Amino acid sequence: MREEKSIEIQHVLAFNCVDFKYANNGSYVVKGLNFSVNDGEFVSIIGPSGSGKTTLFRLITGLENPSSGTIQINGHYTEKRLGSVGYMPQQDLLMPWRTVYENVVVPLEIKGINPRSQKEEIYDMLNEFGLKGFEQEYPNKLSGGMKQRVSFLRTILTGAKVLLLDEPFSALDAITRLAMQEWLVDKWENLKKTILFITHDVDEALLLSDRIFIITDKPITHFKEIIVPLGRPRKIRDLAQPEIITIKELMLKELRMDVDTYENN
Ligand SMILES: Nc1ncnc2c1ncn2[C@@H]1O[C@H](COP(=O)(O)OP(=O)(O)OP(=O)(O)O)[C@@H](O)[C@H]1O
Ligand SMILES: [Mg+2]
C-alpha cells in the first residue's frame, strides 16, 4: 500500500479513465484514456491533425473538463487545474500592443505580483533567452524564433512545474527549428521542468523526448508508447543510428505516413 503511494507521487500528471466530448459536437475526442507522466520527463504527443492533441492540453489546463474520469496534477485530483500548469498555445498569442518585457510579465500580473519587483531577474532571463536589446521592442520587430522564445519565457514565468507546448516550432524554417530544439533541450535540462510537447514531426519527437505518445485511434483510447533509446545530450546525427531509423519507420507506419513522402517534405 505504502509503495503504491510513493509511486503515485512521482507522477506529475495522470489521466484516469478520461472520456471527453465537446458540448456542441456529438462524437467523443477521448474515451477511457489512462496515462501518466513522471516528474522531469520530456514527453511528446504526436498524431494526425484533428486527432485531439490540443484537446488533451485543454483538458490538462482545465479549460475543458472530462465528461467522466479524473485528471490528477502534482498528486492531486482537482477540477481547478488552471494555474497549475504553464500552457503555450498553438497560435502565437503575444499581445502586439505590449513590448517583449510587458508580454513576458503577464503571468506575474495575473498572480497580482508587481513585475517591477523582479525586473532585474526578468531582464537576466530575457538575456539568457537571446532577447537582449529587444526588451522594449514590440512583437512585430521579432523573428519567428524570437517570438517563440518570448512565448516560452512567458510560459516559464507562470512558475508551473508542468509545461504544455503545443507545436511551438511548427511555423519555423528547418534551420531555426533545429536551433530552437537544441535550445529547448538545454533549457529543459537546466530548469528541471516536466514538458509535454505536441508535434507533427517524427524527427523532432525523437530528438527531444524521453517518451513519445503516438495517437493511433479516434477517439483517443490509448497511446502507442515509445521509449526513446538515446542518452543525453543528443545530436541530430544520433537520429541516423539504425535502431532509431527502425523506430522512425515504425512511428510513420503507426501514423499511416509514407516514409518517402515524409522524407520529401
Ligand atoms: N472548441 C471546439 N468545439 C467543438 N469541437 C472542437 C473544438 N475544438 C476542437 N474540436 C474538435 O475536436 C477534434 C480534435 O481537435 P483538436 O484541435 O484537439 O485536434 P489537434 O490534434 O490538435 O489538431 P491539429 O494537429 O490540427 O492542431 C476535432 O474533430 C475538432 O473538430
Ligand atoms: Mg492542435
In the reported structure, the alpha carbon of residue 1 is separated from the centroid of ligand 2 by a whole-number distance in angstroms of 39
| Domain regions of the chain by residue span | 2-84+161-264, 94-159
Residue 257: per-residue pLDDT? 62
In the reported structure, the alpha carbon of residue 226 is separated from the centroid of ligand 1 by a whole-number distance in angstroms of 24
Q: What is the pTM of this model?
A: 0.90
Q: Are 149 and 62 spatial neighbours (Cβ–Cβ below 8 Å)? A: no
Which amino acid residue places its CA nearest to atom 2 of ligand 1? 22
Give the fold, CATH level 3, of 2-84+161-264: Rossmann fold (3.40.50)
Single out the residue of 64, 62, 63 nearest to residue 72, CA to CA: 62
Residue 238: per-residue pLDDT? 94
pLDDT digits (tens, 9 = 90+) for 214-242: 999 999 999 999 999 999 988 889 999 99
Strand, helix or coil for residue 185? helix
Strand, helix or coil for residue 143? coil
Which amino acid residue places its CA nearest to atom 27 of ligand 1? 49
Considering only CA atoms, give the Rg of the chain.
Answer: 19
In the reported structure, the alpha carbon of residue 64 is separated from the centroid of ligand 2 by a whole-number distance in angstroms of 14
Residue 263: per-residue pLDDT? 53
In the reported structure, the alpha carbon of residue 190 is separated from the centroid of ligand 2 by a whole-number distance in angstroms of 27
Strand, helix or coil for residue 153? helix
DSSP 90-133: SS----TTS-HHHHHTHHHHHTT--GGGGHHHHHHHHHHTT-TT
Pocket residues for ligand 1 (CB within 6 Å)? 22, 24-25, 29, 47, 49-55, 90
Single out the residue of 172, 182, 166, 175 nearest to residue 144, CA to CA: 172
Residue 7: per-residue pLDDT? 45
Extract the residue ranges of the chain whose pLDDT is less than 50.
1-8, 264-265
Ligand closest to Cα of 89 equals 2
Q: Which amino acid is it at 43?
A: V
pLDDT digits (tens, 9 = 90+) for 59-100: 999 999 999 999 999 877 777 777 789 999 887 789 999 999
